[in-house]
Amino acid sequence: MAQDKSGKGFVIWIIGLASAGKSTLARLVEQRLLNGGHPAVLLEPSSGEELKRRLMPDLGFDRDGKIQITRRLGYVARLITQCGGVAVVPWITPEREPLEEVRREIGRFVEVYVRCPLDICKERDHRGIYVRAETEGHPVPGVTEPFEPPVNPEVAVDSTRQTPEEEVSVIMERLKALGYLDS
């Protein structure tokens, strides 16, 4: 595949446990970028989202399914960067290896880790995932499956100490410092 000719495209990949606050943050980041005139596209693969239904109806949320979701998302994100867009990807991303492949392929890649302790995530449980882990044995990273947090993310935020707006500001400053956005 041809590389991004404009050299402006990049990926903001937002990682964290279920209910850590990835989705809210991703939407704010997308909006902030659009307001600044940057061509951002949200790629959200959660259950019920259009992207999940239309691009990956064959993939489940078991461990292997999540690995395939990471890879397929990575490919779509690369297409977005190829035409100078910014792909904003909120995805739990429980395993490192498929993400490292995606990073290497894309190159211009910003990993954002949304820290939040598991017990707080369980209290929030926005999608009822933790309840279903207990009642139905639903596979959940950090509970019934591994969750490998980012080792050296470009940005780390903490959703128990920062508001989403504060998190966005940290990310935007970091994007400028890294040269992805003009300061």
Q: Which residues contact its own copies (rule: CB under 8 A)?
A: 1-2, 5-6, 30, 34, 39-43, 50-51, 54-55, 58, 71-72, 75-76, 79-80, 82-86
- Give dist(CA 4, CA 55) in Å, integer: 22
**In the complex, least distance from residue 111 CB atom to its own copies, rounded to whole angstroms:** 20
**In the complex, least distance from residue 38 CB atom to its own copies, rounded to whole angstroms:** 9
Which residue's entry shows tokens 């990956």?
Answer: 56
Q: Which is nearer to its own copies, 119 or 182 (CB)?
A: 182
Q: What are 86's strand-pairing partners?
A: 10, 40
Residue 151, SS3 per DSSP: coil
Q: Which is nearer to its own copies, 42 or 172 (CB)?
A: 42
**In the complex, least distance from residue 76 CB atom to its own copies, rounded to whole angstroms:** 7
**DSSP assignment of 121-143:** HHHH-TTSHHHHHHHH----BTT
- Give dist(CA 175, CA 12) in Å, integer: 9
**In the complex, least distance from residue 143 CB atom to its own copies, rounded to whole angstroms:** 28
Q: Which is nearer to its own copies, 44 or 167 (CB)?
A: 44
